[in-house]
């Protein structure tokens, strides 16, 4: 991480500000007075058991659900109450990777990735091609894949294409819903490395929902634990792993003693050793067919 | 463009407090800071450059053309993303300039432009012509073969189901009869009544000029019971229930429910196709009878208003001028139409490939071909039974 960026990050208002949010569906309360703050250039992971409201919280952050009480602010703009112009400001600056990709099945991979660019209507047509092909290479796909339809892709490829689409506008804020779920361990590792690289290059703020302990180790600055209808803890991995809560204890089962800061640092260094070679970004390896 | 720098006078530096949390951009700037020296500053990002890509590319290209050894100073750039870097790169003519000062973070950004990847060209589609016509003919033939194959499988399954009666999905069949029959009553009643009214009004007007008023019963009764009632009911039901059947099976394909049925050893034809075909073959004759009745009611109303023909007289005359065999003919056709509509709907539903476009296409094809085939079969019936009941 560039030290100058972290220095200026402190006085700035947070990228995401969730203030005392209460969500309920038909009398069933999901979040009660939940608050969460995410600062710039930070990678925050949301963990929590099934049905604890992780996905609902993500949908709140994306403005797809409206809370019963409380407010959600992204880049300082309150969602739900801001003007269309403000919302546009927000929407062009975030990228979202949905759990199942949410690729448009009627469009080819190329058109899927190009769609946000074309919607902007200000990027010259002769720039769309190179930009899309760059993102495709960045997520480790071959140029031939550009013409495929989403139905012809494997699960891992769907994730990559979806990530490329989320990144095409070079967003400052990235939401990832279970980015490594359904990937084989090697692909998951490559994905995590890619995320680290992108973060270094673009200065990304990332919010991710994940169950993968390796991902937590590799990229995450802070872990937010969602349980009992609120965030019971939000802090560095080493801190959270020591929490005496049943969910946390089960989640880090057997890992808790390895979560000290030195261990995390060593793990990340071991990742870096194998990633960059010769300054040119190491592309993701192709997954075995 | 010798004086390109003058186009962009050094703008007063904007207070960057607005750029808090990165939700607004500083303006991208490009200006000459000396002889053969250009300073690039501000935010060179996708959103900041909106609508100004061409302008900047032209200015950069012009500066490069003027003096290829110009020094490009990128050190004052506050943010640079792929789109911004590509704008510079394309302005430079797809290669780094001879003299360049940049920030170390930007190296990887420009490095990726080194290996250019051209997007692969999609294979051009066939132009209208003989080749394309023959291909669509082939596709049409394949549909025919597939429908026959589905029918064959259905008949085999019917045989199997009859030997093992517990396999018959009575609940499915009755649900289908309810959905395709009972729920279609209001719409068919409305359409039938209005068509009968219009038809009778026109016929009455013509007959009145010849003084052949009473023949309205013959014409209307024969046309409605033999042709129009079954046809109108079939067309409405094809649009209403055929489309929903195709969509239902199609979505089951998209969500892999069909695969789930397959691995459980449950036959698609027994569980999905058969109840629909049987259900519609039962309900369509009933709907046709209902539609015919409402058409006659509409006709009676119009005849009463136009010709002062008493409804009791109309009803009294009807059985004597229209032979009952016409009613049986209409019913037989309806059973056939019902089976045909359901069979085609299932055929197109099962052919859906897992994407949204294919789903829409299949539903359209299902409805269009069902209506077309119903009319074709009706014409065949008209020819075959031309001397029965008239």
**3-state secondary structure labels for all residues of chain A:** CCHHHHHHHCCCCCCEEEEEEEEEECCEEEEEEEEEEECCCCEEEEECCCCCCHHHHHHHHCCCCCCCEEEEEECCEECCCCCHHHHHHHHCCEEEECCCCCCCCCCCHHHHHHHHHHHHCCCCHHHHHHHHHHHHHHCCCCHHHHHCCHHHCCHHHHHHHHHHHHHCCCCCEEEEECCCCCCCHHHHHHHHHHHHHHHHHHCCEEEEECCCHHHHHHHCCEEEEEECCEEEEEECHHHHHCCCCHHHHHHCCCCHHHCCHHHHHHHHHHHHHHHCCCCCCCCCCCCCC
- Mean pLDDT by runs of 10 across the 289 residues of chain A is 43 81 85 88 87 86 85 82 71 86 87 87 83 85 86 85 89 87 80 80 83 82 87 84 80 70 73 48 37
**Of the listed ranges A45-54, B194-203, B285-294, B300-309, the one predicted with least confidence:** A45-54
Query: How large is the average pLDDT for residues B128-133?
Result: 82
Would an 8 Å CB–CB cutoff place A87 in contact with chain B?
no
pLDDT for position A256? 63
Whether B21 and A131 lie within 8 Å, measured CB to CB: no
pLDDT tier, B46 (very low <50, low <70, confident <90, very high otherwise) = confident
Quote the CA–CA distance of B112 and B104 in Å, as a whole number. 14
pLDDT for position B347? 95
Higher pLDDT, A1 or B330: B330
pLDDT for position A287? 39
pLDDT for position B179? 93
Taking CA atoms, B244 is separated from A1, B37, B238, B271, B376, in Å, by: 55, 68, 9, 17, 23
Query: How large is the average pLDDT for residues B126-133?
Result: 80
Q: For an interface test with B, which of A102, A123, A164 has the most B Cβ atoms less than 10 Å from its Cβ?
A: A123
* Nearest Cα residue in chain A from B109: A201
Please, which residues have CB within 8 angstroms of residue B27's CB and are 6 or more apart in sequence? B11, B14, B42, B43, B48
Structure confidence by residue, pLDDT tens digits, B358-377: 899 999 999 999 999 999 99
Q: Which of A249-253, B94-98, B217-221 has the highest mean pLDDT?
A: B217-221
Task: Give the DSSP letter of residue B272.
Answer: I
pTM for the full predicted model: 0.73
* Nearest Cα residue in chain A from B25: A89
Whether B105 and A2 lie within 8 Å, measured CB to CB: yes
Query: How large is the average pLDDT for residues B99-109?
Result: 79
pLDDT for position B349? 94
Phi, psi of A22 (to 5 degrees): -120, 125
pLDDT for position A276? 42
Would an 8 Å CB–CB cutoff place B61 in contact with chain A?
no
Which tokens belong to A263? 């261990």
Would an 8 Å CB–CB cutoff place B104 in contact with chain A?
no
Share above pLDDT 70 across residues of chain B, in percent, rounded to a whole number:
93
pLDDT for position A284? 35
pLDDT for position A85? 66
Would an 8 Å CB–CB cutoff place A15 in contact with chain B?
yes
Would an 8 Å CB–CB cutoff place A129 in contact with chain B?
yes
pLDDT for position B279? 95
pLDDT for position B343? 95
pLDDT for position A254? 66
> Does B19 score more than 60 pLDDT?
no
* Residues in B 278-297 with any Cβ partner in A closer than 8 A: none
Distance from CA of A138 to the nearest CA of B (A): 9
Of the partner residues A2, A14, A122, the one whose CB lies closest to the CB of residue B50 = A122
Q: Which residues of A touch B354 (CB under 8 A)?
A: 105, 151
ipTM over 0.85: no
pLDDT for position A286? 37
Structure confidence by residue, pLDDT tens digits, B58-84: 888 888 888 778 888 888 888 888 888
Of the partner residues B87, B114, B119, the one whose CB lies closest to the CB of residue A129 = B119
pLDDT tier, B231 (very low <50, low <70, confident <90, very high otherwise) = very high
pLDDT tier, B273 (very low <50, low <70, confident <90, very high otherwise) = very high
Whether B50 and A279 lie within 8 Å, measured CB to CB: no
Average pLDDT, chain B: 86
């Amino acid at each position: 991480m560039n030290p100058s960026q972290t220095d200026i990050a402190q006085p700035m208002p947070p990228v995401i500000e969730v203030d005392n949010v209460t969500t309920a569906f038909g009398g069933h309360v999901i979040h009660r007075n939940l608050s969460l703050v995410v600062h710039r250039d930070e990678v925050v992971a949301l963990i929590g058991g099934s049905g604890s409201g992780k996905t609902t919280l993500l949908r709140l952050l994306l403005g797809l659900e409206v809370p019963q009480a409380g407010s959600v602010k992204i880049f300082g703009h309150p969602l739900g109450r801001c003007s269309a112009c403000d919302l546009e400001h927000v929407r062009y600056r975030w990228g979202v990777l949905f759990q199942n990709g949410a690729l448009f099945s009627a469009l080819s991979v190329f058109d899927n990735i190009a769609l946000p660019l074309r919607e902007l209507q200000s990027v010259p047509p002769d720039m769309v091609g190179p930009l899309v092909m760059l993102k495709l290479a960045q997520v480790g796909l071959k140029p031939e894949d550009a013409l495929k339809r989403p139905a012809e892709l494997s699960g891992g490829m769907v994730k990559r294409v979806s990530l490329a689409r989320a990144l095409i506008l070079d967003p400052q804020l990235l939401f990832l819903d279970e980015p490594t779920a359904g990937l084989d361990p090697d692909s998951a590792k490559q994905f995590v490395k890619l995320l680290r690289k992108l973060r270094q290059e673009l200065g990304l703020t990332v919010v991710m929902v994940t169950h993968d302990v390796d991902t937590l180790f590799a990229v995450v600055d802070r872990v937010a634990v969602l349980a009992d209808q609120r965030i019971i803890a939000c802090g560095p991995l080493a801190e959270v792993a020591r929490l005496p809560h049943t969910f946390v204890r089960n989640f880090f089962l057997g890992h808790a003693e390895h979560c000290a800061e030195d261990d995390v640092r060593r793990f990340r260094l071991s990742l870096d050793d194998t990633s960059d070679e010769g300054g040119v970004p190491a592309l993701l390896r192709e997954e075995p067919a | 463009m010798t004086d390109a720098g003058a186009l962009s006078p050094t703008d007063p530096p904007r207070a960057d407090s607005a750029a808090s949390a990165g939700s607004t951009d500083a303006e991208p700037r490009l200006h000459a800071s000396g002889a053969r020296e250009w300073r690039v500053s501000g935010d060179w990002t996708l959103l900041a450059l909106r609508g100004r890509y061409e302008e900047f590319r032209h200015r950069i290209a012009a500066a490069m053309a003027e003096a290829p050894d110009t020094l490009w100073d990128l050190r004052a750039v506050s943010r640079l993303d792929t789109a911004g870097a590509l704008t510079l790169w394309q302005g430079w003519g797809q290669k780094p300039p001879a003299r360049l000062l940049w920030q170390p973070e930007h190296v990887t950004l420009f490095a990726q432009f080194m290996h250019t990847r051209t997007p692969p060209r999609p294979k051009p589609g066939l132009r209208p012509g003989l080749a394309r016509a023959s291909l669509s003919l082939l596709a049409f033939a394949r549909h025919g073969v597939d429908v026959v194959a589905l029918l064959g499988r259905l008949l085999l399954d019917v045989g199997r189901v009859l030997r093992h009666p517990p396999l018959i999905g009575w609940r499915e069949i009755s649900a289908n009869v309810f959905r395709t029959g009972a729920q279609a009553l209001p719409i068919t009643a409305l359409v039938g009544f209005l068509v009968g009214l219009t038809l009778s009004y026109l016929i009455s007007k013509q007959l009145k000029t010849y003084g052949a008023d009473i023949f309205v019963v013959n014409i209307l009764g024969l046309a409605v019971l033999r042709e129009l009632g079954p046809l109108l009911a079939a067309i409405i039901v094809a649009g209403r229930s055929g489309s929903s059947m195709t969509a239902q099976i199609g979505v089951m394909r998209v969500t892999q429910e069909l695969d789930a049925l397959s691995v459980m050893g449950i036959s698609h034809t027994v569980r999905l196709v058969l109840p629909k075909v049987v259900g519609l073959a039962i309900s369509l004759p009933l709907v046709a009878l209902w539609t015919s009745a409402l058409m006659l009611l509409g006709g009676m109303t119009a005849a009463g208003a136009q010709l002062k023909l008493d409804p009791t007289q109309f009803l009294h005359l009807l059985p004597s001028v229209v032979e009952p065999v016409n009613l049986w003919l209409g019913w037989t056709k309806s059973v056939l139409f019902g089976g045909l509509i359901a069979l085609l709907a299932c055929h197109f539903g099962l052919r859906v490939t897992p994407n949204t476009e294919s789903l829409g296409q299949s539903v359209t094809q299902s409805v269009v071909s069902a209506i077309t085939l119903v009319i074709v079969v009706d014409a065949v019936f008209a020819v075959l039974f031309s001397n029965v009941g008239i």
